[in-house]
Amino acid sequence: MRSMAATHIGLTTVLAGTMALGVLHAQLRTLSEIPLPALAPRGVSSLVTSRGGGPEAVTFDGKFLWVAEQFSNTVSRLNPLTAIRLGTVDVGERPVALLSVGTTLWVANLGSHTLTKLRTSDGAVVGTFKAGDGPGGLAYDGVNLWVANRNSDTIDKMSVDGNVLATFKTGRRPLNLAYDGSNIWVTNNLANTVSKHRASDGGLLATVAVGDGPFGIVYDGSSIWVSNYFGRSVMRIRPADGAVVSTFPVGDGAAGLAVDPKNLWVANNGSSSVMRLDRVTGSILETFSSGKGPFGIAFDGRHIWVTNFASSSLSTNLVP
């Protein structure tokens, strides 16, 4: 584990403009941006300083913010109220997904085909476990973990002890997962479908045709939301029967999704923007300019955090 010395991260803000979006004229604002090279521990030479970490995943564990940088093979822990780095941890090769479960954080390492289990209180590595071919999506059903294996078109059901309990076939290139209280939902990126699997035994209950290149997925307590990367849209799905209830246009390269009590947040990778949508009407309420190539997005109870893959940075509506 790397140095845990606290380092303050500089936050920069750019002037905001305006932009018309569909029938709604939403104000284009700019999120504060945190360059991730500032996260590199002093005196340590690493890929994060020389070429950028390629951050793809971000999550909040109830106290700390966690960011995975796949090209530096690290996960960093931040204080979400101050943007202070509390530590950086070496994990497996190409970490691309994060999942908070109780007092632990699980990391999916796409390149080394493993999961790393961290203790959230101090970032200590408490275990490394073999996963499927190309683990890249994670979910928790209250008892077991679920892992989407991008390269083998499968999902694994795994105990919190790191044992694979069962493996189930899914669509082509499963990317991300969501749990609705009874079922696991999978975005099959190259099949343009979402799969619904019963969490108790992995049984396939439905395959739902969605847009072009389904990527992100989230459950908001009543609906499943899916982003379509190439389709420039998000879809609302009724969990009971898998019906696509509505489709709303968003930006280019719709990727990561997050929800707060009233809104759906969308990271648009291609247009380097973040949108806030009303979950009831689907109306775009605000559009924010972010860093380049945003992928992951998380809500910490107060602020939104976005990983910018191309600019190796975080964007946030935190005001320093």
User: Mean pLDDT, to the nearest integer, of 253-265?
Assistant: 97
What are the tens digits of pLDDT across the range 135-156? 999 999 999 999 999 999 999 9
| Range among 29-33, 48-52, 140-144 rated most confident | 140-144
Average pLDDT over residues 223-248: 98
pLDDT at 11 over 50: no
Q: Is it the case that residue 3 has pLDDT exceeding 80?
A: no
**Per-residue pLDDT reduced to its tens digit, 170-200:** 999 999 999 999 999 999 999 999 999 999 9
- Ramachandran region, residue 285 (left: φ > 0; alpha: ψ -120 to 50; beta: rest): alpha
Identify the pLDDT of residue 27: 53
Do 214 and 188 form a contact (C-beta atoms < 8 A)? Answer: yes
End-to-end CA distance of the chain: 28
* Cβ neighbours around 91 below 10 Å, total: 26
Model pTM? Answer: 0.88
Kindly tell me if the per-residue pLDDT of 305 is higher than 50.
yes
Torsion angle of C-alpha atoms 177, 298, 105, 189, degrees rounded to 10: 20
Give tens-digit pLDDT for 96-118.
999 999 999 999 999 999 999 99
